[in-house]
Amino acid sequence: MRKLLLATAAIVGASAGAYAAESGFSVAPSQGMAAAPWASGPAANNNNNAVGTAVKGNNAVPTPGTVVIRLNGRVETDVGLVFSTSDKSGAFKTSPVGVGSYMRLYPGVDGLAANGLRYGAAIELRQNFMGGLPVGGTTAASPSGNSSAQTVFVRRAFTYMGSDQVGILRIGTGDGVIGLFDGGVFTTQTWDSGIGNFNGGANQSLSPNSSVGVPFVWLSQAGAEYDNAKIVYLTPQFFGFDFGVQYAPNMGNRFSDSSGGSPYQAGVCTSAGANCIGTTAGTDATRWYNQVAVGARYQGSFSGVDVKGMVVYETASKESIAGGGVVATGPATQGTATAAFKYDNLSFVTAAAAVSFSGFTVAADYIGGAVNGQLAMRPNGGAPTNAVVAGITYANGPFILGAEVGIVDTQGAANLTKISQRHETEIAFGGTYKVAPGLALVGEFMHTERHQGGFDFVANTGVAGTATKDVKSNSVVFATIVTW
């Protein structure tokens, strides 16, 4: 036991010494504390584990033969007002006033070998929330009950290794080529200090889902893009160009096939069946597998003007349905109790460009093809996705101002295929003021509209020939964010 304690102390001391030597601050080993200049995170994707990334992190870079151990974090508090057509439904009415808070943690390690090999791992932990009623309950839980039902879950967990000469390889649950090539620049997600705007942001999180739940179809930094386990390789830059390729065998993490049951999972994969993540043939017409993406990016600077662009193609196969038919499950259509649908393989392209000059950045991102919503397969015969998000930001000292607009055309409801198409628009503008290192104040306004003929967004149902019920929303949010 004494030898184990001494070995543990030596490892901890060596790690602390490496971090101190890199960052230039003092460490008090007896207390495990460090006093240092504030360097804000988060750092799930930083300059150590990306090659030619559009947004570089503020994290310390290890010197040869050392490692940097990180525990970055983020705490956000939001106060918002939401007015939408989903605020009233039957006997229920929601208050327009919302106050929310959440935390994220980003533990990780970055190493640099003497031969130039970069390696390490990164994790992202997030806070989960319960609904208005506890599981199986009929009345609202107390504040203590609400808090006790919250969980912390893993959003990213990957390892990496590479060098500036051969590129970088990342394996695990993490961003694909789209997310790594963008980093929020092309999709204009960087002006509000990361509260999210169109990508599941604070305005959306404080609102009823049907009113502002426009899926973030452009995928960059979205959970649908980075939350299945995958292999990603990024090349070094060649004259401003770099390239990437990714492969994911399924929609999740294969470890779940042998995990225990949970409130979110009825059972485990005891043998080939619907509950197995790696299923390629069965009874689920919406399941895809063998996801592949390839892409190229360019970054250059010309007389004070920075130019960036990317193009990525992605595809995935669909599950083979037993017997060669389709599964008769789905929403009612034209008086039929259930509807049977076939789906197309995922096959889409995203193309984006951004120009920066004199503090301004103008960017646009397009996605189109055989995809429906956020990385879901399109029903056979359905309309293709065509979606554009465009924005402009201006940065001057501690201020960042931004505005953006998104227009999304998709098939939407599968049972309305060849009958109607979904059309959604969203607008947001606001800004960030950096009060001090690691402390930011954000104000943001958002307007959203959702429409599809024959679809009731409030009830989340649609049957051909019935009344259409669109939803609109106006919301404003003020956020305080601390990152480290």
- pLDDT above 70 (res 233): yes
For residue 121, give the nearest of 134, 102, 106 by alpha carbon. Answer: 106
Q: Which residues pair with 122 in a beta bridge?
A: 108, 158
Question: What are the phi and psi torsion angles at 416 (to 5°)?
Answer: -105, 20
Which range is least confidently modeled, 10-24, 190-204, 289-303, 321-335? 10-24
User: Which superfamily is assigned to 38-483 in CATH?
Assistant: Porin (2.40.160.10)
Residue 261 pLDDT = 53
Mean of pLDDT values over 149-173: 92
Angle 407-409-411 from CA coordinates, rounded to 5°: 155
Q: How far apart are CA 97 and CA 349, in angstroms?
A: 39
Distance CA 49, CA 110 (A): 8
Closest C-alpha to 43, from 64, 80, 83, 72:
72
Give the single-character DSSP code of 415.
Answer: G
Distance CA 193, CA 418 (A): 41
pLDDT at res. 94: 83
Of the candidates 352, 357, 351, the one whose C-alpha atom is nearest the C-alpha of residue 302 is 357
Q: What is the mean pLDDT of the chain?
A: 84
- What value does the mean pLDDT take over residues 390-413? 96
Q: What is the pLDDT of residue 206?
A: 81
Residue 370 confidence (pLDDT): 98
* Distances in whole angstroms, Cα of residue 260 to Cα of each of 103, 135, 211, 229, 264: 26, 19, 36, 19, 11
Domain extents for the chain? Answer: 38-483
Compute CA distances 436 → 67, 70, 250, whole Å: 28, 21, 43
Q: What is the pLDDT of residues 71-82, one digit of tens each?
A: 899 999 999 988
pLDDT tens string 255-300 = 888 765 555 555 678 888 888 889 999 888 889 999 999 999 999 9
Please tell me the predicted confidence (pLDDT) of residue 435.
Answer: 95
Name the residue type at position 40: S
From 144-158, 402-416, 439-453, the region with the lowest mean pLDDT: 144-158
Q: Provide the pLDDT for residue 56.
A: 47
Q: Tell me the percentage of the chain whose pLDDT exceeds 90.
A: 54
**Model confidence over 178-232: pLDDT tens digits?**
999 998 899 999 899 888 889 988 888 887 766 667 899 999 999 999 999 999 9
pLDDT at 50 over 90: no
pLDDT given at position 47: 76
d(CA 46, CA 57): 5
pLDDT, mean of residues 305-328 = 83
Higher pLDDT, 400 or 18: 400
Phi/psi at 290 (5° precision): 50, 60
Q: Label residue 325 exposed, middle or buried (CB < 10 Å: 0-12, 13-18, 19+).
A: exposed
- Judge whether residue 324 has pLDDT over 60: no
Decide: helix, strand or coil at residue 152: strand
pLDDT score at 245: 97
Confidence at residue 26, expressed as pLDDT on a 0 to 100 scale: 37
